[in-house]
Amino acid sequence: MRFGTPLQIKLVILGDGRVGKTSLALRYVHNVFSEKQMATIQASFLTKRLTVDGQVVSLCIWDTAGQERFHALGPIYYRDADAALLVYDLLDKDSFDRVQSWVRELKKMASKNIVLSIAGNKSDMAKSLHGNMQDAEMYAESIGATHFVTSAKLNAGIEETFMDIARRVMQQR
């Protein structure tokens, strides 16, 4: 039993540029959203304290400062991560392919028991969540990940996504 300092969880957010990684983190931690390109608010590291099954934990969220655009995120970024949230844009098939390439990299380079979760973001823009959704869910299941549909704009699915990650990490401890 530890007192004082809460247990820490390191979560990295990965995905293509512009899919909404920073927006999800900012919505979750500060409950804000901006339509504009976020040049000034660079959320590279955010912390949120939450209670998981009665246990206080500190969720440390690592967001990129845009390096993903140059494919310049090395293993050092996620090597000691407890969890990764892989984000794609529901309207952008390429961004889903990018999630799959991230997963391959993580399976090779990250901790063996890293908790994986996939978020299909911008649900407010996706008119109907058609067949692709089933593919995404099946893919997530095949790699032991959970899959959520989110909107940073409308604050939909976000609490659930982060809570699920924290809970699954805690279950391993």
Q: What number of H helices and E strands is found in the chain?
A: 5, 6
Of 31-60, binders to ligand GDP (CB under 6 A) are 34-35, 37-38
C-beta neighbour count of 52 within 10 angstroms = 18
Of 6-25, binders to ligand GDP (CB under 6 A) are 15, 17-23
By CB under 5 A, name the one of 10, 12, 19, 22 that touches Mg ion.
22
Name the nearest CA neighbour of 137 among 127, 124, 125, 146: 146
Min dist CB 50 to ligand GDP, Å, is: 21
Establish if 153 lies at the interface with ligand GDP (CB under 6 A): yes
Which residue lies nearer to ligand GDP by CB, 7 or 77?
77
Distances (CA, A) of 60 to 29, 35, 37, 84, 169: 10, 24, 23, 11, 13
Instruction: Look at residue 116 and give the partner it binds from ligand GDP, Mg ion, none, a contact being a CB closer than 5 to 8 Å depending on partner kind.
Output: none
